[in-house]
Amino acid sequence: MPELPEVEIVTRALSRKLKGRSILEHRVHHPGVLLHDPHAGLGGPLRRFERGERHGKYMVLKFSSEQRLVVHLRMTGAFYFRDSDTPLQPHTHVEFQLDTGEWLAYRDPRRFGRIWWLSPNSSTNPLADLGPDALRLSQPEWVARISERSRMMKPLLLDQAVIAGLGNIYVDELLHRSRIHPQRAADSIPAARLGEMWSACRELLRLAIRNGGSSIRSFVDTDGILGNYQNFHLVYAREGEPCTTCGTLIKRIVVAQRGTWICPRCQRRR
DNA sequence: AGCTCTTCCTGAAAGC
DNA sequence: TGCTTTCAGGAAGAGC
């Protein structure tokens, strides 16, 4: 499932492959996945791709015609490129034809993902409620956003309005690295430890990006290449395996309705 | 404010 | 073996 590192991988791949390209036409195979601003209508053509940006788990593809595509892959969204004579992959919902004749296709078996086609005068902004990106906020900002909340650490870190980009995998990995129990109240953790956690978070996310992200179930980049970082997970989906720090068996619990993996010895509740 | 539950969806895995 | 049920989860919304 794509979280910050995986979205970063896809953003980089699309930025590279779309550079300077224009989109001539698009096809919708399944309505509801591609959303247009109801007030701005369908914007003009997507002329000359300039760059892709990432905010949390959102990707923004910017064109010089001032149109932009905002993408959230959710669980199973993925892009691939195809020639007009190669068949569609199953669950392809939207396609964009480039000026090279090639098609940029979006597939998403579970159809949770969304693509917003926005123009400068669009009133909708899917990014409006996002907190700062997990790799772009300062250490003091990180500490400030977490420290005075009474919520449990895990749901707090998963909340995209607090910090954008972390999902179930990287929250579990981060809490383990920081030796913090997912159900601990945020305001019970000393600021110094939260400061260390900021560093651990940056290190974790950068390492995951360097390894192509985590391919759990279905994540692939735009060339169908699997990430590698799932092989380095220390707790996520590793129930019954020994903790690499202390050898205690990893335990699966449920926190905020999410499967959660911890080392019961390294991550004490209090 | 923050918790829990529900909805959206399909494919993989578990259960029988 | 093959059918049926459960589970996975990001985000939004409801209800408390």
Give the pLDDT confidence of A53-109 residue by residue, as tens digits: 999 999 999 999 889 999 999 988 999 999 999 999 999 999 999 999 999 999 998
Task: Write out the two tokens for A43.
Answer: 């914007």
* Exposed/middle/buried for residue A153 (C-beta within 10 Å: 0-12, 13-18, 19+): buried
Q: Which nucleotide has its C1' atom closest to residue A148's CA?
A: B1
Contacts 24+ apart (CB under 8 A), A83-90: A88/A29
What value, to the nearest 5°, has the Cα angle with vertex A183 and ends A178 and A185?
A: 85
Q: For position A140, what pLDDT does the model report? A: 97
Q: For position A233, what pLDDT does the model report? A: 87
Q: Which nucleotide has its C1' atom closest to residue A167's CA?
A: C10
Q: Which nucleotide has its C1' atom closest to residue A91's CA?
A: B10
pLDDT at position A209 over 60: yes
Q: For position A212, what pLDDT does the model report? A: 85
Q: Is the CB of A13 under 7 A from strand C?
A: no
pTM for this entry: 0.94
Contact between A105 and A24 under an 8 Å Cβ cutoff? The reply is no
Nucleotides, chain C, CB distance < 7 Å: 7-12
Contact between A153 and A256 under an 8 Å Cβ cutoff? The reply is no
- Comparing every residue's Cα with the C1' atom of nucleotide C8, the nearest one is A259
Quickly give A67 CA vs C13 C1' distance in Å. 30
Cα A115 to Cα A96: distance, rounded to the nearest angstrom: 12
Task: Write out the two tokens for A97.
Answer: 């034809």
Return the residue matching tokens 């010089």: A64
Under DSSP, is residue A91 helix (H, G, I), strand (E, B) or coil?
coil
Confidence band, pLDDT 50/70/90 cuts, at residue A221: low
Q: Which residue has the higher pLDDT, A72 or A229?
A: A72
Q: For position A164, what pLDDT does the model report? A: 96
Q: For position A215, what pLDDT does the model report? A: 75
Cα A200 to Cα A232: distance, rounded to the nearest angstrom: 15
The strand ranges marked E within chain A are 23-28, 34-36, 49-55, 58-63, 68-72, 78-82, 92-98, 103-107, 114-118, 251-255, 258-262
Q: For position A1, what pLDDT does the model report? A: 76
Under DSSP, is residue A110 helix (H, G, I), strand (E, B) or coil?
coil
Cα A256 to Cα A250: distance, rounded to the nearest angstrom: 19
- For chain A, the distance separating the N- and C-terminal CA atoms, rounded to the nearest angstrom, is 31
Q: For position A50, what pLDDT does the model report? A: 95
Contact between A33 and A108 under an 8 Å Cβ cutoff? The reply is yes
Quickly give A160 CA vs B5 C1' distance in Å. 20
pLDDT at position A229 over 90: no
- Comparing every residue's Cα with the C1' atom of nucleotide B12, the nearest one is A217
Most confident segment among A1-5, A226-230, A242-246? A242-246
pLDDT, mean over chain A: 91
C-alpha distances out from residue A137 to A37, A134, A143, A202, Å: 30, 6, 10, 10
pLDDT more than 70, % of chain A: 94
